A and B are shown apart, each in its own frame.
Chain A
Amino acid sequence: AQSVTQPDIHITVSEGASLELRCNYSYGATPYLFWYVQSPGQGLQLLLKYFSGDTLVQGIKGFEAEFKRSQSSFNLRKPSVHWSDAAEYFCAVGDRNAGNMLTFGGGTRLMVKP
C-alpha cells in the first residue's frame, strides 16, 4: 500500500529565509506526486504536481519541488518565504491504478517569524 511521510510536524522560519519541507513516499511504481497548501479553516489548494519528465517542477507562489526516485522523496522548496506562506502543507501520492486516489502525509505546519 502506498504511504507518505512528512517528518516535520512544525517548522518555523524567518521571513525572507529559505524553506524546505520534506516528503518521503512509498509506492510500487513511478508515482504521481502533489503538494497542497491549506490555510486555517480552508480547503486544499494545489501548489504543484509531478507526473513524469523533468524532476524539478515549478509551482505557484514561487514554490518548487524535486522528485528524487533514489531517495523516494519529493521535497518542497522556496528561496524566500513571505509571511503569507504561513499555512499547513500536505504532500500526497496518487495511485495511478485507482483513479489517482490520493494518499496524504500528516502535514507540516509552517510558521513565519517577522
Chain B
Amino acid sequence: DAGVTQSPTHLIKTRGQHVTLRCSPISGHKSVSWYQQVLGQGPQFIFQYYEKEERGRGNFPDRFSARQFPNYSSELNVNALLLGDSALYLCASSLPRTQETQYFGPGTRLLVL
C-alpha cells in the first residue's frame, strides 16, 4: 500500500503570496493532521481533520487554514506568507480509533523569500 503522499515536494514563494499544500492519506485512513517543522526544531501541530470536520487546531494565526475532501485528502492553505513560514510541512494520516498512530508523509519544504 502507498504511504502518505504530499505535493509539491519543494516550493519557493515570496512574502505576501499564498500557498496551497496537498496531502493524500493512506488508503482507509480518515483522519489527516498537519504539522510545521521549522529547521532545527520538532514538528508543531497545526490542524487535524476527521470526516471533513476540523477536530483540532494548534496555536497558529488565521492565515493558516485547511480543509478535507470527501476522499479524505486534504489541503493546507497559508495566506500572506511571512519569512517565518519557511519550514517543512508534514502531513500525517491515521485511522479513526481511540489509539491512533499517525503515519507521516515526506513533507513539503516551503521557502519564503
Contacts and interface: CB of A to CB of B under 8 A. Distances in A.
Interface in A77-114: 90, 92, 94, 96, 98-107
A101 B33 contact: yes
A43 B99 contact: no
Nearest to B3: A43
A104 B44 contact: yes
B85 to A, nearest CB: 19
A98 B101 contact: no
Interface string B24-50: 000000010101000001111100101
Nearest to A4: B42
Given A42-B106, A94-B100, A99-B48, A107 B56 contact: no
A101 B103 CA distance: 12
A34 B99 CA distance: 12
B42 A98 contact: no
Interface in B59-113: 90, 92, 94, 98-107, 109
Q: Looking at chain A, what size class is its interface with the partner chain?
A: 20 to 34
Contact of A100 (B35, B43, B102): B102
A105 B45 CA distance: 12
A70 B16 CA distance: 49
Interface string A1-29: 00010000000000000000000000000
Given A43-B106, A43-B107, A104 B42 contact: yes
Contact of A99 (B35, B55, B58, B103): B55
19 contacts: A4-B42, A32-B99, A34-B101, A36-B104, A43-B4, A43-B90, A43-B106, A46-B101, A90-B42, A92-B42, A99-B55, A99-B100, A100-B101, A100-B102, A101-B45, A101-B56, A102-B45, A102-B92, A103-B45
Interface of A: 4, 32, 34, 36, 41-46, 49, 51, 90, 92, 94, 96, 98-107
